[in-house]
Every structure is written in structure tokens, then in C-alpha cells.
Structure 1
Amino acid sequence: MRLLVLSFMFLVAAVPNVLGQNKTKKPNVIIFFVDDQGYEDVGVFGSPLIKTSNLDGMAENGMRFTDFYSASPVCSPSRAALLTGAYPVRVNVPRVLWPNREGGLSNKELTLADMLKTKNYATACIGKWHLGDEAQYLPIKQGFDSYYGIPFSNDMSVNPKSKVAENILFREGMTIDSLREEKWRKGQVPLFRQDEVIEYPVDQTTLTQRYTEEALGFITDNKDNPFFLYVAQTMPHIPLYASENFKGKSARGLYGDVIEELDWSMGEILKTLETLGIDDNTLVIFASDNGPWKLKNGHGGSAYPLRGYKFNTYEGGMRVPMIAQWKGQIPAQTVCSEVTSTIDILPTVAYLTDSELPDEKIDGNNIWPILQGKNKKSPHTKTGFYYYKDTIVEAVRKENWKLRRVEGEIELFNLADDISETTNVASSNPKKVKELTKMLEDFDAELKTDVNRYQY
């Protein structure tokens, strides 16, 4: 048996670099997207108290990104950008979506899942969706074969119009009548499978574990086929919940418990890929949807050394931890300091899978040369990266210069010298202010001509 295993390992090692040949072998893609985790809240990003051995291991085996951005400082827009490759205003999801409210990501937008379905990928969405909870907007209408999770943030309520499974599990004294009431019950949220509520309210202490089990099952079932797995973890959005196996274990308190359980979840996925022998054909991306909450009770994360938090366009609101691993393709133990973003993931995956890009305009770029470690400059170097809050563009970054304009106040920072945005150098750099102001205004004007392509 040992000889057989060694022979198999030799054959695997002898397989030529697929991407270097003809890209005929389709890579699996896993995106592990956490909710409101701060820039510092990973060991390799500097966390002094939170232990994240699996994420640290990803960085050892792959690439850590120091200047990676979400396209929004809040939930729904950040997810719209990730799945479409466009700034959220362009795809008409500029703000947070609420249960039982009109609106969502248009079915006419091509999502990552839609794109990969054209290449016969199996697709699954597990966790927080937050791009519309009406039936027409749910993941199974957006290119995903399956969905299991909460369709919005865990501090919200339930849409009384939701479709309910025949075998629904009611907890905490709830009934079908209480679900149908037009009453806001903060934090009592439903668990969906496909387009039906299967548990209400969901036991949030079990969510990370159950999402993980669902993910492992999907990977195992599709080990012989190309797949796209989007694991959008509910945590560490507040209220925080950890399972009994992790509660009270971290030196960082409950927030640390939650992050360490998320790290365990990532580890279980990586271990499964290795056990199944498909880790050398799977691109795995870890990132946060935006910066952390600013809370005094220890339930919020840390964006140190960045300034700002969730909800604003200082670096701490939108610069997030990102790690990418693909054994044999992404060089190990590497660090990227180029400006990159969630909007770049779709066009990168399109390149790797020979998929057609959306017909409609997107804003992201293929960053595979960067992921390969070829030291190529970020495509955002010339075009700039833009920081939107709701429908307002508040800032632009070009190379290491960042101009921020909020309510008429102009701030200019050199992020290479001042990562914490402590010193406004606008008055001493009038030409740079003029240049970046023009970039910001020109880009916003172009984008705003396109935002009505799909109305709700």
C-alpha cells in the first residue's frame, strides 16, 4: 500500500503545470468571506492575542495582501462588488438591504456563479447572502445550485413573507403565526435552505460549525468536478456567537473566540482539500467584507494601524485582510503590497477558467500576474481605486496618494509614509490635490451615467 501511495504521489508531481500549458484543467475556486473582521485580526496581520494558525498557514503557503480593499465599508454593497466585479453603485446596490424591503442584486447582472455555470461548475453559496431576501434575489436565482444560510445580517429579523419548509424547526416558542407577524424581532433570524426557511430563529451558536459541515460536504461531493464555493460567514458581525468548543478560549474575549472558530473553519476546508488531493487545483481566497465595528465592549475588531472603522472611507473601513493560496501556482510565503480589490476577483477567475466577462461594464481587473508573483504593477495604479459610501464617492487612491473629500473638507495622505492617515498634507501639495480631485470627479461622472442600467 505504501508503495502504491508513493507511486501515486510521483505521478501527481510529474503532471505538468496546467496553466503553463493550455489551461485545460479547470481550477476549483473557494472564497471564504468573513463579516466585519478587522485588518489586524489575523496573526500574520499583527493580532497580539487572537490565534489564527490556519490563516497563518495559508499565508505561509501562499500570498498575503497588505493593500487589499473591499469596495464598500458596509455589507450589501461589498458583496455585490465581490460577485459582479463592479463598484456597487454601478450595479445598483449602494447601501445595506433590509428584510422585507424592495430591492436586491438584479438577476440581469452576471455573478461569479452565473459565469462559472457556463463552464459547468457546481456552485454553492453558504452563509450570509445580503443581496435581497425576496425569492427573485436569492442565491439560487443568481447562479448558485444550492444555498444554505441567513439571507442578511444576524442582527436583523425575518421577512414574514418568506417561503417556509414543511418540516421547519421552530425554536424559542416561535410558530408559523409569529413568523408571519409584521413584528421586528432583532437578532431572531431565519436559516434558509434553497429558498425556504428551515429553522426559525436559528441557533446562532452553531452557525460557524454548520456552515463548515455544509462546505465540507459540498467539496467532497464535487471532488471530481470543477466547483465554486462561496462561504460567506455570518461572524464576526454582531451579535457575536461562538460554539461551546470555542467560547471562553481566546485571550481576546468573545470576539477572539469567534475569530478563532472562523480560523478553525478555514482549517477544516484546507485539510479536506489536502485529504482529497485537490489542494493543488484549488484557488482559495480569504478576505473580510469591510472593516470592524467601533465598539467599546470588546465585541468589535481592530483595524490597527489603520484609521477608521466600518461605515467610513478611511483605510480602516475598507482595507481588509486578504490571503490567497493555490499550491504550485501562487508562490509561498509572499507578500503583495499592490492595490487590489474584491472587484478584481471575478475578472481573475474569468481568466483562469477561460470564461466570458459580463457584457456590461465592470471595474475590476485580472490580477493573476500579481498572484503568480511576477511583480506586475496593479492595474489600479493608473486608473485609481475609488472609495464609495452609499452613492457618494468620498476618496480616491492613486499609487500611495489618497485624496478624501467629505462634506467639502479635503484631506490628502501619503499612505507610504502615513498608513494611519494622521497628517493631512493637502495644503502643501496643491497640484496633487487638483490631479486627484479631477480623477475622482471624472470617474464618478462616468459611473453615474451607467447606474440606471438595471433599476429595481
Structure 2
Amino acid sequence: MKHLCILGAFLICPIMANADSAQPNFLVIMGEAQGWASMSVPQDDRNPEGSMSSFIRTPNLDSIAQSGIRFSDFYASSPRCTPTRAALFTGRNPARLHMTFVGESKKEGGVNPGDRVIAPETTSQLPAGIETIGTLLKKQGYGTAHFGKWHVGRENPQQSGFDENDGPNSNGGPENADEPNPKQCYTTAKLGMDFMTRQVNADKPFYLQISHYPGKQPESATPEMIESVKRRLGNRMDMMRIGQAAGNEEIDKTIGLVLAKLKELDAIKNTYIIYTADHGAQGRNANGALSNGKGTVWEGGLRVPLLVSGPGIKAGQFSHVRASTVDVLPTIMELAGVAANALPKDLDGVSLVDVLKKDPSTPPPRDHEEIVVHFPHYDKDEIGPASAIIYQNWKMILVFETENRLLFDLSKDIGEQRDLAQTNPDIVSALDTRMMDYLSSVRAGMPKANSDYVEGGEKSGDRKGGKGGKGGKGGKQKPMMKEEPEVKPEAN
């Protein structure tokens, strides 16, 4: 039997069209708030120092990266967890699903006097009856399981095709704890290892997804791990950083347990391992060379790891092909041997199998070459509700409160410090049209003006940072500079 294991929020599982063919297994591990600089190996060979952590050590994730391919230009489908998880399970953009935000408290979704716009209504529940990776693989005879953070509604994951699961868990886990880890990272690993063992012993292909809870506080690590990190870092870091490192390293340790079980089962040699995350790390300076983080459409909120290793994938590769969470499902399906015409017709993602196995530098053909991230909600960015489009070397951010458009050339300015909108109105107009055409085609919910707006009134969201829509400073970040007339970007 071939085995295919995928770690991360990027689930890629091949199913064989011929019933007589061996079917691979899949292990998918999704990280929580793991950004571009959350691992101890670089995500981008063009910017190694800016795409790795200087104090977190992740040897097991590093081993996946080094034995396969790293996607340097991989984007979460949202800067928040629920939308990205929905995109991974379904292969559809959160805007299409109307799942563009989270439902963590009663305050979210309300309107305050200082809100210039009213965010559209959303849902945090996967649509009833929608095909997912789980339902599609079950049709091919797979055993399916999901353990850990579900966060796409209160229905049991079994209804979405995951026969074995530990419930529709949100941030608090099965016990609704303030800090589910370290207990839950070991629990989910054990559940996953038991599941894999039973499937292998039964000679049955499997899809296993382990979705981790965050490991960013001292309370999310064992005392032994905290002491180990203290000894390594000495006085270089404060307790918060030590706790962040210890929490992430505890999770990495449990990933190592799962990988060791695959080896023990003699399954890893035929296993695809995929790792990704739901969004960037939280904080304006938490994502290396990238700007901002979780809850914002800046690069730090969206660009996350995608690691894939397995049969037919050359070790030690980097790919600069742009891709996003919606591509996981169709990639898994092609690896599994499912014909493209057998998939749902409204997928937003495409298969990356040729990138994985043939040419890491050639993008797959797409109906929509752009990536659109629709986030019309008040959250963690001072600019408020915003959407972004990434196309060729360009990125444009639409600020809904002011209707300003910000333009960046990511090939020269990955930190999004130079707003080129005023000197490139034609490019702004073309990107704006392309983005709005796409949002209209999927009937995305749009914000509307707040007729009761009060200047200086209380604002929604946690908007204590960000750069603003007019090039202001963002915490310790450098000021975003406006037009640079000497820059002459490509017209296309």
C-alpha cells in the first residue's frame, strides 16, 4: 500500500482512479498562527534571514521542509482561522462561502458608533452537504479522521466526512480550556497515532488531519520544555518570548512523535507530508521581513509556510510559485488519482502536483490568476475592513472605510513600505476591476456605509496597530513611504 501523509493546513491527498491501484495515505498537520518566521529554517531562499525565527527551534518541521519542497509565496486564504480552515476543507474561497470572519465573542458582528462601515453578515458553519476532503476521500474507500482545532461550526466533523474525530472544537479544545496545550498537542498526537496504526493494520488507506492549538504562552508548554528553552536562550529573551518558543517547540516535539510512528509502521517512505498554517503570527513585528500579522491583509497576516514531502518530490527545493490554501484539496485529489472532472465545479483552487513533481518554477494554469483575500471586518488593523488582491508582482489593498487603494510591488518591496498608488493609477484601476469582478462573481458580502457614524466614537475590533490607510507609522515599523517617482514598475 502506498501511504501519503500531509502535515499542515494544506491537505494534499491523492486518490487512485483505478480500484486495483495502491492508494496513498495522508497526514495533514495545520499550525495555528504560524507565520513566515515561526520555524528555524527559512521559508524563502531569496530572503533567508527574514523568513525564519531567530529563537524558536523546530527540528521536526525543519525535517519536513528539508526533505521536500517549501512554497515561499504561499498565502492563507484569510488572516483569520475559521475562513482559512474552511478553504482548506473545501477548496473554495471564504468569500464564496460567506465565511470571512470568526465567531469568538458576542461583540464580533456588532456595530459601534466609530465604525464608518457596517461589515457584512457571515457564517462560521460549513454549508450543509458541501463536499470536503473528507467526503471525497471516503468515496474512494479511505478512513478519515480529524483531531484538534476544528473551528468551522458546531456540527460534528463526522457530518463533513471525518468519521473519527474529537469533536467540533474551537480555541479552547474539548475541555474549553484557556490554554489547551500542552495537554492537547500530546492528546491529538496519540489519537492520530492510534488511528494510523489501526488503518495500516487493516491495510486501509487513510486521511488524517491534526490541527494544532496555539503555542504562544508559557502556559502552553511543560515546565521541562520552558526550562530547556531558558537554558538555551539565557538572558536574551523575556519570559513571553521564552514561553512562545517553548509552546511552539512542544508542538514540534509531538509532530516528531507522529513522524516516528509513521517510520515504525513502515509507512513514511510512501507518505506525503504537508504542513501549513491558518494565518500569520500575531503582532506587527512577528513575521520576519513581512509587515504586520494576524487579523490584517498585510503580508505578515497572509503569507504562511507550505511544506510538502513525499514520493516523487525532490528534497531541498524552494518554489516561488504563488499558491494559496484553496489549492490543497485539488492537489490531494490529483495525487489520489481522482479525475478533475469528478470534482465539484465551483472550486477556486487548482492542483499543484506538477509543481511538486515536475517543475517547481512553473505555475499551474488558472481561470483566475489573482489571489483575492476578502476581509471586510473590523479586527486587528487600524485601517479597518479591507480586501487585498495579489497579481503578478503587484499587491493592492482596498481600505473600505476611506475607499483608499494602496499599491505595492512585492518583487521589490516585500515589507510593503512604499505605496505606489498615486504614481500608478492605471495599475490600481486594473487591479481594482479585477478584484471587484471576482468578488461579484462569487456574490461576496460587502460592507455598507454606517449612517449612524460618529466621528471619534468607539470603534470595533482590536485596532491598536497597523499603518493606517494614509501611510502612517505602525508601532515600531518604519513609516510607509508614499510615491517614489523614480520607480518604474512593469505596466502589466
Structure 2 residue 222 is the aligned partner of structure 1 residue 243 = yes
In structure 1, the residue matched to 2:146 is: 125
Code of the residue aligned with 1:268 in structure 2: it is L
In structure 2, the residue matched to 1:209 is: 186
| 1:333 Cα offset (Å) | 0.3
List aligned pairs for 1:147-226, cutoff 5 A.
147-148=165-166, 151-154=169-172, 190-191=174-175, 204-223=181-200, 224-226=203-205
In structure 1, the residue matched to 2:213 is: 234
In structure 2, the residue matched to 1:109 is: 130
C-alpha distance in 1, partners of 2:168/2:245?
22
In structure 2, the residue matched to 1:305 is: 289
Task: Specify whether residues 238 and 389 from structure 1 end up closer, same or farther in structure 2 by C-alpha distance, changes over 3 A only.
Answer: farther
Cα contact 2:181–2:213 (8 A) shared by 1: no
| 1:422 Cα offset (Å) | 0.6
Aligned partner of residue 114 in structure 1, secondary structure: helix
In structure 2, the residue matched to 1:346 is: 329
C-alpha distance in 1, partners of 2:343/2:367?
23
Cα contact 1:393–1:444 (8 A) shared by 2: no
Task: Specify whether residues 261 and 379 from structure 1 end up closer, same or farther in structure 2 by C-alpha distance, changes over 3 A only.
Answer: farther
Cα contact 2:15–2:140 (8 A) shared by 1: no
| 1:415 Cα offset (Å) | 0.7
Task: Specify whether residues 240 and 440 from structure 1 end up closer, same or farther in structure 2 by C-alpha distance, changes over 3 A only.
Answer: farther
C-alpha distance in 1, partners of 2:100/2:15?
36
Code of the residue aligned with 2:194 in structure 1: it is G
Number of residue pairs matched by the alignment: 384
C-alpha distance in 2, partners of 1:208/1:319?
24
C-alpha distance in 2, partners of 1:190/1:333?
38
Code of the residue aligned with 2:371 in structure 1: it is F
In structure 2, the residue matched to 1:431 is: 426
C-alpha distance in 2, partners of 1:129/1:376?
33
C-alpha distance in 1, partners of 2:150/2:389?
28
C-alpha distance in 2, partners of 1:371/1:386?
23
Aligned partner of residue 303 in structure 1, secondary structure: coil
C-alpha distance in 1, partners of 2:392/2:124?
35
List aligned pairs for 1:47-446, cutoff 5 A.
47-98=53-104, 104-133=125-154, 137-148=155-166, 151-154=169-172, 190-191=174-175, 204-223=181-200, 224-236=203-215, 241-250=220-229, 251=233, 252-294=241-283, 302-326=286-310, 328-355=311-338, 357-374=342-359, 375-379=361-365, 383-390=369-376, 394-407=387-400, 408-446=403-441
| 1:92 Cα offset (Å) | 2.9
**The structure with more strand, counted as a fraction of residues:** 1
Task: Specify whether residues 115 and 202 from structure 1 end up closer, same or farther in structure 2 by C-alpha distance, changes over 3 A only.
Answer: same
Q: Structure 1, residues 168-198: CA drift from partner, whole Å, max 9, x if none?
A: xxxxxxxxxxxxxxxxxxxxx634xxxxxxx
Gaps of 5+ in 2: 1-13, 43-51, 109-122, 234-240, 378-384, 447-492
Task: Specify whether residues 97 and 414 from structure 1 end up closer, same or farther in structure 2 by C-alpha distance, changes over 3 A only.
Answer: same
Q: Structure 1, residues 91-123: CA drift from partner, whole Å, max 9, x if none?
A: 232221348998511231111101100001111
Code of the residue aligned with 2:220 in structure 1: it is Y
Code of the residue aligned with 1:353 in structure 2: it is A
- The sequence identity of aligned pairs, in percent, is 28
Q: Structure 1, residues 206-235: CA drift from partner, whole Å, max 9, x if none?
A: 111111111111111112321101100012
Cα contact 1:97–1:130 (8 A) shared by 2: no
| 1:25 Cα offset (Å) | 2.1
Task: Specify whether residues 77 and 414 from structure 1 end up closer, same or farther in structure 2 by C-alpha distance, changes over 3 A only.
Answer: same
Cα contact 2:157–2:168 (8 A) shared by 1: no
C-alpha distance in 2, partners of 1:450/1:50?
39
C-alpha distance in 2, partners of 1:40/1:418?
17
Cα contact 2:216–2:244 (8 A) shared by 1: no
Code of the residue aligned with 1:132 in structure 2: it is G
Cα contact 1:397–1:403 (8 A) shared by 2: yes
C-alpha distance in 1, partners of 2:366/2:216?
30
Aligned partner of residue 43 in structure 1, secondary structure: coil
Cα contact 2:81–2:151 (8 A) shared by 1: yes
Cα contact 2:388–2:396 (8 A) shared by 1: yes
Q: Structure 1, residues 307-362: CA drift from partner, whole Å, max 9, x if none?
A: 11101100111110121111x31110000111111100101111122336543511
Code of the residue aligned with 1:405 in structure 2: it is L
Task: Specify whether residues 428 and 331 from structure 1 end up closer, same or farther in structure 2 by C-alpha distance, changes over 3 A only.
Answer: same
Code of the residue aligned with 1:413 in structure 2: it is F
C-alpha distance in 2, partners of 1:201/1:404?
34
C-alpha distance in 2, partners of 1:339/1:349?
17
Task: Specify whether residues 85 and 24 from structure 1 end up closer, same or farther in structure 2 by C-alpha distance, changes over 3 A only.
Answer: same
In structure 2, the residue matched to 1:179 is: none
TM-score, normalised on structure 1?
0.78
| 1:239 Cα offset (Å) | 8.5
Task: Specify whether residues 270 and 377 from structure 1 end up closer, same or farther in structure 2 by C-alpha distance, changes over 3 A only.
Answer: same
Task: Specify whether residues 365 and 234 from structure 1 end up closer, same or farther in structure 2 by C-alpha distance, changes over 3 A only.
Answer: same
In structure 1, the residue matched to 2:460 is: none
In structure 1, the residue matched to 2:466 is: none
| 1:201 Cα offset (Å) | 8.5
Let me know the Cα RMSD of the aligned residues.
Answer: 2.8
| 1:384 Cα offset (Å) | 0.4
Q: Structure 1, residues 359-393: CA drift from partner, whole Å, max 9, x if none?
A: 35110001111111413224469620011214776
Aligned partner of residue 38 in structure 1, secondary structure: coil
Gaps of 5+ in 1: 1-17, 155-188, 192-198, 296-300, 452-456
Cα contact 1:97–1:131 (8 A) shared by 2: no
